[in-house]
């Protein structure tokens, strides 16, 4: 068998030729050897041929500045401004960009990126690592009993007021056909480093990001469906016009009939953001600001009031709704995010503490990564953009 090549231009050409069906037998043999040479090569190859990932990245690259991007690939120099430095986040996990623009150049950068930085950062982070978050949550029953869902087997796990609760493929489901009268509430909580998907008794689907929760009745009785949430939650509400769906947070109330939307209420964020994808939702702040009704493609931004000022509620257009729910689809989307916003995401997903040493220079990122990536791989990419990081145990120091 031919030996595998490490020349990124050659590999890029092979990948392009394979997807276009133009490889010779010798070229295919060399590509096969490269794929078999390492788990990382094999993973990249699988992702490049994953239709879902291809579609996601085609959409992302459709918004990319091709000319400026090509110049950055070739010069590998950051673009600086007086306010902050703009850098493009290049990563193996975003390698599917090779499918739509500058196949050889972008793949070349991704391949050389790994080689050039392996020695620089590999030794620093090799001795320790933190795996990515995973599916899992804690279910608190009406009597206070707590069940760790990611440690339970499949099938029925509890009964609450006649409603049967079961686990199916690590997803929580409720069967309220035999529900009795009376109200019993359950709460699902995701610690840092966990996310979870639950189907509520009315058929509403809920995705919980890390460090989030939802409280709900085990059967929806009466004229409305009312739940309470914290953290970040994406919902696809079952349409029942006769029974409005009400969501409460510490700062506002949302009223919906049937819709899909994302709510970010994290305490460490400066605002509460609600992004509507389909349907309609009415937002009523608890403190002073007037209610607003969202239409698809809009985001409501609610400021958090303090002693000196009232809350404000503004509505903006959402250019890229997919970015808002990237976490639900297994991605980090850092496009346009500053250093501190990125660090807050890493803190929740990897269950680490972030400590800032001095005043690190702010950085604006562009790009995306899979959330199933070990922390060390994420840090290697961030450090290529002159972000000085040091991981000690469970604490990440940002300098």
pLDDT tens digits, 102-154:
333 333 334 444 444 444 444 444 457 899 999 999 999 999 999 999 888 88
**pLDDT of res. 91:** 39
Say if CB 350 and CB 130 are below 8 A apart: yes
pLDDT of residue 52: 57
For position 140, what pLDDT does the model report? 95
Contact 60, 52 (CB under 8 A): no
Q: How far apart are CA 344 and CA 338, in angstroms?
A: 10
> 304-323 as b/e, with b when 16 or more CB fall inside 10 Å?
ebeeeeebbbebeebeebbb
Ordered DSSP codes for 114-155: HHHHHHHHHHHHHT------EE--EEE-TTS-EEEGGGS-SE
* Closest of 150, 259, 226, 138 to residue 188, by C-alpha: 138
Token pair listed for 47: 């992702």
Pick the closest to residue 215 from 327, 34, 223, 206 (CA basis).
206
What three-state secondary structure class fits 83?
Answer: coil
Helix (H, G, I), strand (E, B) or coil at 305: coil
Average pLDDT, 10 consecutive residues per value, the chain (399 residues) = 54 69 80 81 72 49 42 41 43 37 37 44 57 93 92 89 88 85 90 95 95 95 93 95 92 89 94 95 84 93 76 90 93 90 96 93 84 89 83 92
Report the alpha-carbon distance of residue 197 to residue 115 in Å, rounded: 38
Q: 351 CB contacts (<8 Å, ≥6 apart)? A: 130, 133, 191, 192, 193, 210, 394
**pLDDT recorded at residue 281:** 94
**Residues of the chain above pLDDT 90, percent:** 43
Which one, of 119, 21, 20, 107, lies nearest residue 57 by Cα?
A: 107
In the numeric block, which tokens belong to residue 174? Answer: 């409720």
pLDDT for 20: 63
Query: Which tens digits make up the pLDDT trace of 54-93?
Result: 554 444 444 444 344 434 433 444 444 434 444 444 433 3
330-360 burial, b if ≥16 CB within 10 A, otherwise e?
Answer: ebbbbbebebeebbebbbbbbbbeeeeeeeb
Q: What is the model's pTM?
A: 0.70
| Calpha distance 178→109 (Å, rounded) | 59
């Amino acid at each position: 068998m031919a030996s595998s090549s490490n020349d990124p231009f050659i590999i890029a050409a092979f990948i392009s030729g394979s997807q276009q069906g133009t490889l010779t037998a010798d070229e295919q043999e060399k590509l096969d050897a490269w794929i078999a040479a390492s788990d990382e090569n094999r993973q990249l190859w699988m992702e490049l041929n994953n239709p879902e990932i291809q579609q996601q990245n085609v959409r992302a690259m459709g918004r990319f500045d091709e000319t400026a991007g090509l110049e950055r690939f070739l010069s590998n120099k950051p673009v600086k401004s007086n306010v902050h430095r703009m850098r493009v986040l290049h990563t193996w996990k975003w390698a599917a960009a090779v499918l739509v623009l500058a196949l050889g150049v972008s793949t070349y950068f991704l391949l050389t990126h790994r080689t050039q930085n392996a020695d620089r950062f590999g030794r620093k982070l090799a001795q320790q690592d933190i795996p990515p978050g995973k599916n899992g949550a804690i279910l608190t029953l009406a009597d206070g009993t707590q069940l760790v869902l990611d440690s339970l087997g499949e099938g029925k796990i509890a009964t609450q007021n006649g409603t049967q609760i079961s686990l199916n493929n690590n997803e929580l489901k409720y069967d309220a056909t035999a529900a009795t009268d009376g109200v019993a509430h359950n709460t699902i909580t995701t610690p840092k480093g966990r996310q979870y998907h639950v189907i509520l008794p009315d058929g509403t689907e809920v995705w919980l990001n890390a460090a989030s929760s939802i409280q709900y009745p085990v059967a929806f009785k009466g004229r409305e469906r009312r739940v309470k949430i914290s953290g970040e939650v994406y919902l696809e509400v079952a349409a029942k016009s006769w029974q409005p769906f009400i969501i409460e947070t510490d700062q506002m109330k949302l009223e919906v009939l049937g819709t899909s939307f994302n709510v970010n209420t994290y305490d460490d964020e400066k605002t509460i953001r609600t992004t509507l994808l389909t349907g309609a939702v009415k937002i009523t702040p608890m403190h002073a600001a007037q209610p607003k009704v969202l239409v698809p493609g809009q985001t409501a931004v609610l400021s958090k009031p303090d002693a000196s000022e009232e809350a404000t509620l503004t509505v903006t257009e959402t250019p890229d709704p997919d970015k808002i729910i990237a976490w639900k689809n297994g991605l980090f989307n850092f496009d346009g995010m500053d250093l501190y916003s990125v660090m807050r995401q890493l803190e929740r997903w990897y269950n680490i503490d972030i400590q800032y040493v001095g005043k690190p220079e702010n950085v604006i990122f562009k790009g995306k990564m899979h959330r199933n990536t070990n922390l060390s791989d994420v840090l290697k990419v961030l450090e290529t953009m002159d972000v000085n990081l040091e991981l000690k145990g469970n604490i990440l120091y940002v300098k």
